Structure 1
């Protein structure tokens, strides 16, 4: 009976405090994320276009790029790790939600940058980012060992889950075309623009665009509510991936809407075509600000596809499909997502099929 109570989500916070380094190590690593991007940009721009890249530079650039992508990966590792399970439930919850923020680092940094431009902030993005994360670390590392809070059990929220799925189906039509359109970047900006204009006759129409925006915003806020609910308790790694990728996409969508409707159309008065997305004429990789878009887009595309397959996995399990079969389907979706993300990023960074 005691064991059942101890495993209950209503368990009271234990007295053993969480090691501050469980919070500070990932927080400090995330705080220097912009400097990984700057280092990669410096390495790339030190080589003239068309020049032969030495193996040393190529190795250094690869290592720095791995460091960039290791930050959101670290977030997943932190969310899945078991070290905090020896601590109290409140400490586990604190670290789990910290991990969700870290997963979102690439898209959060873009969101921060766009808004600092519109605010006319004289503070460099890197300084603001680092200071914010250090402040976040100070808040999270406060000693909560004396707290005696129960962790409430998760709510099923079936109506919200169904509504989230229905809105997702509406959004999926737009996203599928959007990804299809970006694949034409491999054929060049002109072909991409031609395909985009066909789609814009539909999704920019006076009826469809407001419906699409409302559906996207509903996806954001309903997804965040569901993620907050599911983050209250630990789960298997597939569920953690679904929650983490969902939070990333919520920030990604909100940032994308902000960049298109507020920054581009209202603040800057510019067209949101190929040049806007790819950073032309300089190019995404060689632009000191635009380099942050590379992991933002690459992970975003991957998460869009794998998040859909995460939802499909849940539906398959609910309808009696074996766990191994559902997991294999998810892994197949992950391979598809990685491949499509790679192809889109190759196109957007200048690779052409002919």
Structure 2
């Protein structure tokens, strides 16, 4: 999926006269995002037996597995489209790439949207709003004209440094949080014990507001860097870095909404293992909770792979050979995949002991 280049420099997108490819990227990613909730509905239909005492058949299991694969394929398709070279004007190409970045966030945006609509007391099913909205967004993105091609993108060096420094600070919390979730493979009680230790630090009255400010800065600065970077021709490693940054921006914002507003304020409940795992129903059997599975899994993978993407850029800037930096990225992506799988196994009931 990712090609190896000898350098990692951004150059202006070349102007072109064909816009068909840009329109195709927008429509394809819009349709993928629009259909995403229906794939999850099909998964729930497949795992729901006809009677309470009736086991799920082999055919239903195969259907559920296929739908889960398709659900994870949605952001992958959008990622590939974001990195696809386009023979189009610079303005059209950057707009198509940005739209693909946004569509790639469908798994985490759908959770965010579901929480907000629930708190708003909306009587309309999520899918009835979600699907038409994405198709409308795709139509508007295609119909919107580009007044002029963007000039040479200028990435702010101080902003990139500040984003990296704050990212290193945020990583301390993120890595603890991920490690904490791995204890779910032992038991919910083990997870809770480790979480209580961590909360004495990151929930301290003077640390939690600072942590929130760091996260918000990462969102704002990261999106600014993505906006500027999307106006350049990038190798696929950098496309992944930008797209994973957009995903993480939505994920972090939605996670803070779920914790601070939905759980603590709206419901007045603790954000413990039961809250995260959607108990007592769980993530698999509940038609709403199933959206949390790709949301969590991709969130863990993208945050770890995004950190290694930043490390790759730093290594290249310090003269490390691209083959070494790229290999290290692949190792990080592999670790992120394994950690994500382990956490999801724990959250769906698997135990080591």
So what's the TM-score if we normalise by structure 1? Answer: 0.92
Q: Is the 8 A contact 2:25 2:100 kept in 1?
A: no
Structure 1 residues 202 and 49 mapped into 2: Cα distance closer, same or farther (>3 Å)? farther
Q: Is the 8 A contact 2:33 2:104 kept in 1?
A: no
TM-superposed deviation, 1:148: 5.2
Q: Which residue of 1 aligns with 2:20?
A: 18
CA distance in 2, matches of 1:305, 1:217: 18
TM-superposed deviation, 1:117: 1.1
Q: Is the 8 A contact 2:13 2:90 kept in 1?
A: no
TM-superposed deviation, 1:47: 7.6
**Whose relative contact order is higher, 1 or 2, with alpha carbons under 8 Å and at least 6 apart?**
2
Q: Which residue of 2 aligns with 1:203?
A: 202
Structure 1 residues 220 and 8 mapped into 2: Cα distance closer, same or farther (>3 Å)? closer
4+ residue segments displaced more than 4 Å: 47-53
Structure 1 residues 234 and 186 mapped into 2: Cα distance closer, same or farther (>3 Å)? same
Q: Which residue of 1 aligns with 2:69?
A: 66
So what's the TM-score if we normalise by structure 2? Answer: 0.92
What is the CA deviation profile of residues 3-34 of structure 1, one whole-angstrom value per residue up to 9, with x for unaligned ones?
Answer: xxxx98386x6543335444223212220100
Query: What pairs up with 1:269-308 in 2 under 5 angstroms?
Result: 269-308=268-307
TM-superposed deviation, 1:323: 0.6
Match of 1:42 among 42, 45, 59: 45
CA distance in 1, matches of 2:51, 2:258: 31
Q: Which residue of 1 aligns with 2:142?
A: 141
Structure 1 residues 296 and 176 mapped into 2: Cα distance closer, same or farther (>3 Å)? same
Q: Which residue of 2 aligns with 1:351?
A: 350
How many residues in Structure 1 have an aligned counterpart in Structure 2? 343
Query: What pairs up with 1:91-240 in 2 under 5 angstroms?
Result: 91-142=92-143, 144=145, 147=146, 149-240=148-239
CA RMSD of aligned residues (A): 2.0
Q: Is the 8 A contact 1:28 1:133 kept in 2?
A: yes
TM-superposed deviation, 1:153: 1.6
CA distance in 2, matches of 1:175, 1:312: 16
Q: Is the 8 A contact 1:30 1:105 kept in 2?
A: yes
Q: Which residue of 1 aligns with 2:254?
A: 255
Q: Which residue of 2 aligns with 1:309?
A: 308
What is the CA deviation profile of residues 133-173 of structure 1, one whole-angstrom value per residue up to 9, with x for unaligned ones?
Answer: 011011012163xx551212221211111111111121111
5+ unaligned residues in a row in structure 2: which ranges? 1-9
Q: Is the 8 A contact 2:49 2:56 kept in 1?
A: no
Q: Which residue of 1 aligns with 2:36?
A: 33
Q: Is the 8 A contact 2:119 2:262 kept in 1?
A: yes
CA distance in 2, matches of 1:188, 1:253: 26
CA distance in 2, matches of 1:292, 1:10: 36
CA distance in 1, matches of 2:26, 2:213: 36
